[in-house]
Structure 1
């Protein structure tokens, strides 16, 4: 093979390679991949601490592989509020509209990052930690300036994303069953004894607020045919206890097979229902109810195991506190609430 022919083949090969890489015949525009604010796999997250305007809310992964408030009680967050916050914290896609000359932060104060309003610290496996800061909003109000601690890049984060994170502190996502109810909004309390047929239960006591008479009545369906008045002051004291099981503890955060018989909890067992009016974010009044299924006595015989009966897929096993349990049983004994003659 002569030298001229060899060089010709080599030239053709180089041109073919350039055409393959550049591909000038492809009219499809290159897809722009949005940068990630940070990249973390949710399975690596062990704790989340959010500081916002001087206040803090922290969460920790439990032994049941669920999330809980990082306090002694280890209360689970409300699932509707919590939603997919752990996935959200795993890296919101960002829109980096800044020019290349301002991508690197030279003056943090220019973006409110010298004194950020929100700092999120994520504890990871293998003793790793990731932290990011949120500063001022952009002039159009649609984004927050953000920065991962230890990195100089500036990011724009959707304001909705930042607001969701901040609300974890300003309005901690307590589970509905532990939200403090205003006693004046409670208008019905029902206590059911164990029954083989819960759908046709008549073995219960019902306390109902009479709007016209502006007082509470009770019907003990085991003995009463019509409602009767109750000792108003004593019953109102009970409402102050029932509105939230203070000092409740969590025995188990999650029961995968939904079998609660180990703790004496069943759909046919004892339960208490507390009905009350709540107000939506739009200002609409609607009816809500907290229902607790009550099981066996705990290690302290004055406490009881129980679980909230709601749409939460995890439904933890609770250790209901002594004062709350005693109040429930007193209400079931309707004679204790007879009017004072």
Structure 2
């Protein structure tokens, strides 16, 4: 019955008692429903908002393994089962490589973009659980571990395990958490490359002794001594003391062939000792980098009159083309106990051990 009809019948007295009772009960039920709806809708809305908020938080947690400002990163240490290397930001905000007890300036060309990459790590998938078998993901003995340090003396560590079955992602463990995550393989590849092929400055060299076929020593801008051999024979020839000629026009000492040759055999033992020394220079510290003028080098005792050593180093490209990659060393005056050196005709000056520098000179003078 409609409420207006009910009121009319009550006023004029023609409603039965049963009808009145039924209508009152219906009114009570409607009132209760109104109250429930009035209270329930706000509560339900709050619950939905709370669930949405929790979902957003969970999604945010799963989006990145970590996220930090790039400028806060001040050290990166990468280690594997066989080797380790560390990169450290100096007080001047320039990055350095710490390899064992040696410190080198970074090769900026190869370093650019590394800290930008490491400012965050986007998660592809999360594998939750407290009883995960790390060995199933290659994380019991990780391929490599990375420790990233920040300027507030805190740090994070990431263990890198196996690749995913499709080789597009890599399993990682973050700060020894229970969960395992996957990151894109490019993230781990960059870090492993930094470990296995660090961005050393261009003047850091390596060579095989049997690839060198000529050794030249210059003093005061003049060729003083030379040694040569033929390394392309079936049996490499003996080291020879090269014949030095005088140029008719300039009056300078010159060689008439390359590699040079001569008639008198050199002391093989001394040459072998010399090559061993040059393979492992004893660098004490980097004194100054990116010098531009002759005056800059002169401040460190490096001039056109300095001792200059040249090794003709033969290498080959992938298609077998011969490429000459010289090894060069400039040394300051050996009368001083503090020896400066420039390797590979670079713009960086380093200090080297006096005994090392003196032996290099004495063996070929």
Shorter-chain TM-score category?
A: 0.5 to 0.7
Query: Which among 182, 185, 189 is matched to residue 156 of structure 1?
Result: 182
TM-score, normalising length: structure 1: 0.67
Aligned length: 283
1:204-243 matched pairs, under 5 angstroms: 204-211=224-231, 214-217=237-240, 218-220=242-244, 227-228=261-262, 229-233=264-268, 234-243=270-279
CA distance in 1: counterparts of 2:73 and 2:244, whole angstroms: 51
C-alpha displacement of 1:214: 0.9
2:102 is paired with a residue whose SS is: coil
Instruction: Tell me: CA distance 1:54–1:283, structure 2 relative to 1, closer, same or farther (3 Å).
Output: same
1:45-64 matched pairs, under 5 angstroms: 45-53=73-81, 55-64=83-92
Structure 1: runs of 5+ lacking an equivalent? 1-33, 196-201, 334-341
CA distance in 2: counterparts of 1:280 and 1:81, whole angstroms: 21
CA distance in 2: counterparts of 1:192 and 1:271, whole angstroms: 5
Query: Which among 342, 347, 350 is matched to residue 318 of structure 1?
Result: 350
Query: Which among 57, 68, 80 is matched to residue 97 of structure 2?
Result: 68
Query: Which among 254, 272, 293 is matched to residue 309 of structure 2?
Result: 272
CA distance in 2: counterparts of 1:319 and 1:203, whole angstroms: 24
Match of 2:361 in 1: 329
Structure 2: runs of 5+ lacking an equivalent? 1-61, 246-251
Instruction: Tell me: CA distance 1:256–1:128, structure 2 relative to 1, closer, same or farther (3 Å).
Output: farther
Check whether the contact 1:251–1:317 (CA below 8 A) recurs between aligned residues.
yes
1:140 is paired with a residue whose SS is: coil
- Please give the per-residue CA displacement for 1:319-340, whole angstroms capped at 9, x wherever unaligned: 222343224433563xxxxxxx
1:1-341 matched pairs, under 5 angstroms: 35-53=63-81, 55-64=83-92, 65-69=94-98, 71-76=100-105, 84-91=113-120, 94=122, 96=124, 98=125, 102=126, 104=128, 106=130, 107=132, 109=134, 111-149=137-175, 155-170=181-196, 177-195=203-221, 202-211=222-231, 214-217=237-240, 218-220=242-244, 227-228=261-262, 229-233=264-268, 234-245=270-281, 247-252=282-287, 254-255=289-290, 259-266=296-303, 269-278=306-315, 286-297=323-334, 301-309=336-344, 315-330=347-362, 333=365
- Please give the per-residue CA displacement for 1:79-110, whole angstroms capped at 9, x wherever unaligned: 66656444433335x462x4xxx454553635
- Please give the per-residue CA displacement for 1:233-252, whole angstroms capped at 9, x wherever unaligned: 2222222222231x321142
1:162 is paired with a residue whose SS is: helix
CA distance in 2: counterparts of 1:126 and 1:91, whole angstroms: 17
Match of 1:15 in 2: none
CA distance in 1: counterparts of 2:150 and 2:211, whole angstroms: 42
Check whether the contact 2:205–2:327 (CA below 8 A) recurs between aligned residues.
no
Match of 1:199 in 2: none
Check whether the contact 2:308–2:331 (CA below 8 A) recurs between aligned residues.
yes
C-alpha displacement of 1:35: 4.5
Report which of the two has the higher share of helix: 2
RMSD: 3.7
- Please give the per-residue CA displacement for 1:95-141, whole angstroms capped at 9, x wherever unaligned: 62x4xxx4545536354445433221111102121222222210011
C-alpha displacement of 1:71: 3.7
Instruction: Tell me: CA distance 1:282–1:76, structure 2 relative to 1, closer, same or farther (3 Å).
Output: farther
Instruction: Tell me: CA distance 1:203–1:256, structure 2 relative to 1, closer, same or farther (3 Å).
Output: closer
Check whether the contact 1:267–1:293 (CA below 8 A) recurs between aligned residues.
no
C-alpha displacement of 1:205: 3.2
Instruction: Tell me: CA distance 1:235–1:51, structure 2 relative to 1, closer, same or farther (3 Å).
Output: closer
1:59 is paired with a residue whose SS is: strand
TM-score, normalising length: structure 2: 0.63
